[in-house]
Amino acid sequence: MLSKPDISEAIGALLRGPESKRVAEKLGWDSSQVSRFLNGQQGIGREQLNVIIELCDLVVVSRRYLDAISLLASTGVSCECARNGMGECGRR
């Protein structure tokens, strides 16, 4: 069974990694704030959410968007049959 990704773990890894000082600086945090976050004593403010999402190289999308992409992928996003007026691939 697949487990959902843990965003707080991704942020924690970023704050423990080699770029931790740069990340803290971009968040406007000092080392005590980083430590408090890593120990579960501090959260992330609204003004920092977009910054941390970008620093983690994450993108927020809706389930509706993912469902649409999944549907397109299941029928063949670049289906040559459909593009040439011959219906969906595999449905002849």
* pLDDT score of 77: 64
Q: State the average pLDDT over residues 27-39.
A: 94
Query: What residue type is assigned to position 72 of the chain?
Result: L
pLDDT tens for each residue of 55-90 = 988 888 999 999 988 887 776 666 777 777 777 666
Q: What is the predicted pLDDT for the residue at 15?
A: 94
Residues 6-27 as b or e (16 or more Cβ within 10 Å = b): eeeebbeebbeeeebeebbeeb
76 with 88: CB under 8 angstroms?
Answer: yes
Domain boundaries, the chain: 1-59, 61-92
Full-model pTM: 0.65
pLDDT confidence of 2, banded at 50, 70, 90? low
- Give the per-residue pLDDT at 76: 65
Per CATH, the number for 1-59 is 1.10.260
